[in-house]
Structure 1
Amino acid sequence: MASWKILFHVDKMYSAHVYLRLKKGETIDDISEGVVEDCAAGKPNSIQGKKVNSIDVVYTPLSNLKKTPSMDVGQVGFHNSKMVRTVREEKRIHEIVNRLNKTKVERKPDLKAKKEAVYAAEKTQRKQQLKEKKRREEMQRLEKEREAEIRSYDNLMVPEKMTSNKQIAATNKSFQEVEEDFM
């Protein structure tokens, strides 16, 4: 997939989840502290989160979530615990929650069309890379052929470049002069 999705949720409590979609090439380590704070700020709004003073909000790539049939509804595990990050929310920060509520925009995007557009762009990029690879391979093949031709003795033993003893005798050069020309 073109981008990573990060899941934020309150650790060891039921709550709504926050999903953050990263840009292509970004990782969980590239998320700014402010974005993490904003994503975690809404978590104390959960039913259980309102009753406690401090909570831990964990976040991890969606692909790191592990769900087995024996787990309760809403419970998840992780494939790799090194990919799980935790941020502590000591208390509800009303300014952040109010700002987020004021700027909240609910959209109903055509996810299928977006997904198809991303796949089409990736397919075009792969085709371009393949075309470039084939072009480089063809250039390398031609270069090898040219080098092989240069190293080949085939061009040395052609009648136009050969000289017979009669031709040498006709030049009226001595044997030593002919040898010096040869060397």
Structure 2
Amino acid sequence: MDATGLVLAGGASSRFGADKALAAWGEGTLVSAACAALLEVLPRVLIAAKPGQVRPVQGPRVSLVWDLRELRHPLSGLEAGLSACPTPWAFALACDMPFAGAGLVRRLAAERGGVQAVAARCGGRAQPLGAFYSREILPALSKHLEAQGSATAFLAGIRTRTVEVSTAGREFFDLDDRASYREALAWKR
């Protein structure tokens, strides 16, 4: 597939109480699980993080890129990842969405023609942190970040195709705090 995986791992994790990218998940961490899921279908993964954050994921197909801005914004990692992306497209995935995987990537990849982004729509809401983005959006993304606009507003401002996914699945369950982490661990068992 002509796309690169992009794991967004530079969040503050303030509600979680620690760097959630490094929280235990299976045999590794949330960030390593996100990388493994994307590597099932994509040839390469970039991890976008804030300078100084340590990412213990290594391998010939995984690289680390630093966010280009001090701003704590989910799209900061997208900007850094797309700037370093060697392919025309990247699939951006937040590291705290451990149930999103290869099936979602395949489904959205098939919808990339004629648009700048493809995002899942779940429960009536577009999901910007589990979506494909074309590298051509970089100028618009940088401008949007300067204005500190929301991720959802950014999707609405570019040519985006949304694909409805079932709310019954857990693909977009994100681990914002310790309670959601415990809930996800219980589901995983």
Which one has more relative contact order, counting CA pairs under 8 Å at least 6 apart? 2
The two structures share one fold, judged by TM-score above 0.5 = no
More helix by share: 1
Structure with higher Rg: it is: 1
**TM-score normalised by L of structure 2:** 0.23
How does the TM-score come out when normalised to structure 1?
Answer: 0.23
